[in-house]
Structure 1
Amino acid sequence: MTLIRILWVGLAGLSFGAGIVGIFLPLLPTTEFMLAAVYCASKGSPRFEAWIRSRRYVGPLLENWEKERAIPRRAKYIAISMIFSSAMLLLWHLGQGWLRWAIIALLVVVAVWLATRPEPSSSPE
């Protein structure tokens, strides 16, 4: 394996890991990191790309986003719930000031963006 391919696979692994963390942290975008992981893996290891696409949670998200720029309803509910939880924690634990409200405003913008994304046409929900 050449150094370039190793670097592509390494970037794919980092992107995949960040995407997994993004499932639980609302400020890290899961889909974008998974798209980056698939792209990098396609350059370095088609087998790794296929493995990423075959994951039960990730595969359908990637397919829906690539085909329709759509996010399933369940994923929206989970993401917006996590954003709301994060906002509540910030309100309770971050001191008074502009930073608190700037972060809350950013979370609201992300939640609105998520809520306005279309749902996949093949989604049973």
Structure 2
Amino acid sequence: MRLIYLLLGFLALGLALLGVVLPLLPTTPFLLLAIACFSRSSKRFETWLYHTKLYQTYVADFRETGSIPRKRKKRILVSIYILMGISIFFAPIIWVKIALVGLTIFITYYLFKVIPDRPEDPDSK
């Protein structure tokens, strides 16, 4: 089982890396999956991934503080609106379009009302 988790961890990590350059693939969920798989298979790879710049950029803030800076939330939302807009435009069935609009509204609500804002770091400006 450890080997399967290890292979799944590397597959998820590879998809996360693709997600950095391809806007259609979500980076953060694949990084979280990679961490979960590595935690069950290899503490060495889990520790390594925790210390990578990729992990620090996409996951560390939220995992440690449970909050996201408002500026980052806005960037996330722009990406979601673009991708959902494309999906809604090309969806062939009206019920799928309605469901995607509902999902977009839910994501917007969740991002801005449920996940707390973290004050911007004065050193990052």
Q: Settle same-fold status: TM greater than 0.5.
A: yes
Gap change, CA 1:94 and 1:32, over 3 Å in 2: closer
Q: For the residues of structure 2 that align with 1:123 and 1:106, how far apart are their CA atoms?
A: 31
In structure 2, the gaps of 5 or more residues are none
Q: TM-score, normalised to structure 1's length?
A: 0.71
Q: For the residues of structure 2 that align with 1:58 and 1:20, how far apart are their CA atoms?
A: 10
**Per-residue Cα deviation, 1:46-67 (whole angstroms, up to 9, x for no partner):** 2211222122232254332232
Q: For the residues of structure 2 that align with 1:21 and 1:104, how far apart are their CA atoms?
A: 26
Q: For the residues of structure 2 that align with 1:42 and 1:52, how far apart are their CA atoms?
A: 10
RMSD (Å), alpha carbons? 2.8
| Pair 1:99-2:96 in alignment | yes
Q: CA deviation at 1:41?
A: 0.8
Q: For the residues of structure 1 that align with 2:98 and 2:84, how far apart are their CA atoms?
A: 10
Number of aligned positions between the proteins: 120
Contact 2:69 2:120 in 1 (8 A): no
The answer for the alignment partner of 2:80 in structure 1 is 83
Q: TM-score, normalised to structure 2's length?
A: 0.71
Identity over the aligned pairs, expressed in percent? Answer: 24
The answer for the alignment partner of 2:38 in structure 1 is 41
